[in-house]
Amino acid sequence: MKIVIFSHYKEVADEILKDSYAIVIDLLRATTTMIWAISNGAEKIIPVEEIYEARLLKNLNKSVLLGGERGGVQIEGFDLDNSPLSYKKEVVFGKTVVMTTTNGTRALKKAAGAKRTFLGSFINAKKTAEYIVNEALHQGIGTISIVCAGTEERFTLEDILCAGYFVELFKESFSNIYLDDLSIASYELYKKFENDPHEILKYSYHYNNLKKLGFVADLEFCLKKDFVDLVCEYKNLVVEKV
Amino acid sequence: MKIVIFSHYKEVADEILKDSYAIVIDLLRATTTMIWAISNGAEKIIPVEEIYEARLLKNLNKSVLLGGERGGVQIEGFDLDNSPLSYKKEVVFGKTVVMTTTNGTRALKKAAGAKRTFLGSFINAKKTAEYIVNEALHQGIGTISIVCAGTEERFTLEDILCAGYFVELFKESFSNIYLDDLSIASYELYKKFENDPHEILKYSYHYNNLKKLGFVADLEFCLKKDFVDLVCEYKNLVVEKV
């Protein structure tokens, strides 16, 4: 199995992507929030890039919830922000949520060119990796592409650490594995800080922005591993439980 | 001082680059070879992308030496390959060398949009960093851009490790320093393997290619630190000693 990591969506090489299974990681916070919402019973998530797209979908069906952020804060007239902690069972159970995020949605749309596209986070990494390993072996898939959302089209440390955790999980599962240079680097970085990712992330850009905005509880939440036991897939513009 | 690393030339953000001092790193082997050639008395290096450009310059002046590689090996009719060990004093002293490389030349041309553009390698990193620190402080420069050449427009581990060494040198020199996410990652990776970079590079793509081609001595050479005591600058299409 070949593991390839792209540090943001513009880096994605279509010729590698197209025959691979893809994992999209927007750790802080889009993919973590979507996975948590599904885990709390949301029926589906429709990620959209623009606020007016979200409003259009709400006009078509008043029962959908609108979620997302601009500059880290809730959008006027929206039901929810982008904090996973807002997506409680009593709020999202049985609902369709339309979410507008920038980096995360672009990364999902880009990665949709893969054979299948999954959402990645620390909170359900192990389950997701297990599922992908089984399916990939079964379907004869030779490459797994990890598409980091990045921030403002740049390398982003928290996505890379989570990607490094996936690399570790795949190293444990495949006897014959080839890692590209960024996979090697992500794995080594993850291993250096696996016991306390905050130790390195406290110097990083996006983590600090969220901290300044007061989302300390979100940072704790998004860095906890494997307490969610489901797999989310992005298909036909919609995120659903596999 | 703000330190920003770009993992390959296509990642370079012009609006950051233009007010910065840039360091271009094509560790294996273009920038190391150019620096070593200058150190052995070559008067100047003219990096060009295409073989026919190199031949045109030789037609204009028979005394220039042609150097470079395609697929790691010497080009037909050229005087030199891309191994630093070929650029001995008795061969290059007093000479102009026209070198054709792909990633390295593209990175130099891209980085030429900076206020000043220097060549980076392990062999003269300390001297280069010292010079840049002094000049940057003197000229009120607020950003240092490290432009990794990368390989085939992708993240390349050996360039990143060398960039991480520059980050360490700058951390020692500036009391007030801001590192972007890739600078933080490069620094941590460098520190993890500073005593034996071969330990991680033996898994990496380009290092392995060169090893397979038999350039083991080059790999040893390019990873040795600070035995060269000069600084090289790229200006008006030419690499010269500062």
User: Beta strand A143-148 with A44-48: parallel, antiparallel or unpaired?
Assistant: unpaired
Query: What whole-number distance in Å separates Cα of residue A36 and Cα of residue A24?
Result: 15
**pLDDT of B17 above 90:** yes
CATH of the domain spanning B2-28+105-241: 3.90.1560.10
What is the structure's pLDDT at A72? 78
What's the pLDDT band for B71 if we cut at 50, 70, 90? Answer: confident
Q: Taking the complete model, does pTM exceed 0.80, yes or no?
A: yes
User: What's the pLDDT tens digit per position in B167-182?
Assistant: 999 999 998 999 999 9
Contact at CB, A204 and B182, closer than 8 angstroms: no
Query: What whole-number distance in Å separates Cα of residue B168 and Cα of residue B190?
Result: 9
Chain A contact for B188, CB < 8 A?
A: yes
Chain B contact for A188, CB < 8 A?
A: yes
Per DSSP, B10 falls in state G
Contact at CB, B154 and A182, closer than 8 angstroms: yes
- Nearest by CB to A157, from B11, B151, B181: name it: B181
Q: Is B71 helix (H, G, I), strand (E, B) or coil?
A: coil
Domain boundaries, chain B: 2-28+105-241
Q: Is A74 helix (H, G, I), strand (E, B) or coil?
A: coil
Q: Count Cα atoms within 13 angstroms, Cβ side, for B84.
A: 27
Nearest-by-CA chain A residue for B159: A181
Residues 6+ apart with CB under 8 A from A23: A117, A118, A119, A120, A128, A132, A144, A145, A146, A147, A163, A166
What is the structure's pLDDT at A73? 83
What is the structure's pLDDT at B102? 83
Contact at CB, B204 and A181, closer than 8 angstroms: yes
Q: What is the ipTM of this complex?
A: 0.94
Chain A contact for B96, CB < 8 A?
A: no
**pLDDT of B86 above 90:** yes
pLDDT, tens digit only, all 242 positions of chain A: 999 999 999 999 999 999 999 999 999 999 999 999 999 999 999 999 999 999 999 999 999 999 998 887 899 999 999 999 999 999 999 999 999 988 899 999 999 999 999 999 999 999 999 999 999 999 999 999 999 999 989 999 999 999 999 999 999 999 899 999 999 999 999 999 999 999 999 999 999 999 999 999 999 999 999 999 999 999 999 999 99
Min Cα–Cα distance to chain B from A176, Å: 14
What is the structure's pLDDT at B80? 96
What is the structure's pLDDT at A114? 98
What is the structure's pLDDT at A127? 98
User: Beta strand A178-179 with A2-6: parallel, antiparallel or unpaired?
Assistant: parallel
User: What's the pLDDT tens digit per position in B139-161?
Assistant: 999 999 999 999 989 999 999 99
Stretch B84-111: mean pLDDT: 95
Stretch B197-203: mean pLDDT: 97
